[in-house]
Structure 1
Amino acid sequence: MPSRTSPRLDARKKPRQARALATLDAIFEATIQVLLTDGPYRLTTTRVALRAGVSVGTMYQYFPNKQALFYALNERYMDTLAEKVETTCKARHGIPVRQMVEALLTTYWNAKMERPDVTQALYRAIAELDNGPLIEAFGRRVDAATTTMLSSASDAVFTDLPGVNLTLLTTIFGTVRNVFERNLPSTEAEAVREQLLLMCTAYLEAVSAQRTPGANPAALRCGCDAAATAS
């Protein structure tokens, strides 16, 4: 069977001047609105150009097809989301793990809920896009930020930090996405958020070893590993 050729996903033109950046913002906003009203399958670059108030020629200068447009929209969104998570994690080094989880969950939740229409639109566009590279890049950035934060917790240490971190993020990300897929009303969504915080906090407390004041994290991990081997 012949292999399918992937459509070109990179933008043709990188905006640098303020006017070009404004044009790109208008195109992205128009893409979101067309996605919400027409869905990903009926969306065309012509419809987006009309909604954005730009010519089809201008549209084509940036994006050769709608897959490239979807890719760029997702790339911008995920880059902004990763930056927010990184900033939150860097500011929470050395505090109790419960406060870390609350800050992480609040940041991710608020980012998704800040503009629910954008989140909904991007979820709709995923069916039209192979965004594996974007997800991998986002995952690497978030994993690095959260594992570094958790490793500095003042009151806990994790012998399998990568596994714990993966479980934590999968739980948070999956739950938040399900809230959108179910289109839950705000009261129910907020109830889920509170339960999610409780669940994540209880999980981290269950899998962590208590850290004594002044204890060396590496030494404590070694001690836990040795105890596990002996048992």
Structure 2
Amino acid sequence: MDAIFEATIQVLANDGLIRLNTTRVARRAGVSVGTLYQYFPNKQALLFAALERHLAILAIAIEKACDENLHSTLEKIADAVVKAYLRVQMAQAEISPTLYRIALEFDARELLDLAGRRSAEAIEAALSTASDGRFADPGLLARTMTAALYGTVPAFCHRVLSPVDGREAEKQLTIMFRSYLVAQQSGTADVERKDANGAGLQAG
């Protein structure tokens, strides 16, 4: 399976979506077409599986980054999430436009939703343990951050990103996430102060 997926990526990168077929992929993977058909009955099934695998890799990368940054500062959590996401995107930058077209063609909303849920749960866990912040609803923040990440998929996938573009994207997303978390942390503190003041007035 790994060989077939890797061959699919290579054929997409070298020959493009139009020229990709099961025969080319099987030849590149070093397996027979019959063996490939045991896993994927046609080209469409193969492409859908390649997209599903890419999104799963994205989610796994974010989960790993968050697990490694439990009890870290908000700044480190924001940095880790952005780096993990873009590392995967840039690793397959050459075929990102093709993956984007596949997502549109196959209406991959369920796949995107699944990857988004996994990512949001991981980010929520990290935010809940942040060493320098506390939020009333870390789940909402995590879902917002995930929506921002996965909402950028079209922007990152409609063309091949250069390394310079990738670095700029990382810079901008990091600024966005850091600022968002700081603002939300301040908002939580303001609410707590208002609640405390209200309680004091009632007691008086």
- TM-score tier (shorter): 0.7 to 0.9
Would you say the 8 A contact 1:40–1:125 is kept in 2? no
What one-letter code is carried by the residue in structure 1 that aligns with 2:11?
V
Q: Percent identity?
A: 40
Report the equivalent of 1:160.
137
TM-score of the superposition, structure 1-length normalised? 0.71
Q: 1:113 deviation in Å?
A: 1.5
- Listed as ranges, the gaps of 5+ residues in structure 2 are 200-204
- Mean Cα deviation higher: 182-191 or 150-159: 182-191
What is aligned with 1:208? Answer: 185
Question: Would the aligned equivalents of 1:97 and 1:154 in 2 still touch at CA under 8 Å?
Answer: yes
Contact 2:71/2:131 (8 A) holds in 1:
yes
Q: Does 1:105 align with 2:82?
A: yes
TM-score (normalizing by structure 2): 0.79
Task: Supply the distance in 2 between the matched residues of 1:168 and 1:72 (Cα, whole angstroms).
Answer: 26
> Is the counterpart of residue 67 in structure 1 residue 28 in structure 2?
no
Tell me the distance in 1 between the aligned counterparts of 2:159 and 2:55.
Answer: 22
Deviations 1:35-68 (A, max 9, x none): 3345435533233223434322122111112222
Task: Tell me by how many angstroms 1:221 deviates.
Answer: 11
The Cα RMSD (Å) is: 3.0
State which of 67, 79, 85 in structure 2 corresponds to 1:90: 67
How do residues 112-191 of structure 1 correspond to structure 2 at under 5 angstroms? 112-175=89-152, 177-191=154-168
Match of 1:28 in 2: 5
- Offset of 1:164 from its aligned partner? 2.0
Structure 1: stretches of 5+ with no match in the other structure: 1-23, 212-219
**1:208 aligns to what SS in structure 2?**
helix
Alignment: residue pair count: 198
Partner of 1:19: none
Q: How far, CA to CA, are the matches of 1:190 and 1:94 in structure 2?
A: 27
Counterpart CA distance in 2 for 1:210 and 1:167 is: 16
Deviations 1:114-141 (A, max 9, x none): 2323544422322332433322222221
2:27 corresponds, among 42, 50, 62, to: 50
2:191, 2:175 → 1: CA distance?
Answer: 29
Deviation at 1:77, TM superposition (A): 2.6
Give distance in 1, aligned partners of 2:193 and 2:3: 54
**Runs of 4+ with deviation above 6 angstroms:** none
* Higher helix residue share: 2
Distance 2:32 2:161 in 1: 38
Q: Structure 1's 93 and 225: CA in aligned 2 closer, same or farther, altered over 3 A?
A: farther
Q: 1:179 to 1:131 in 2, by over 3 A?
A: closer
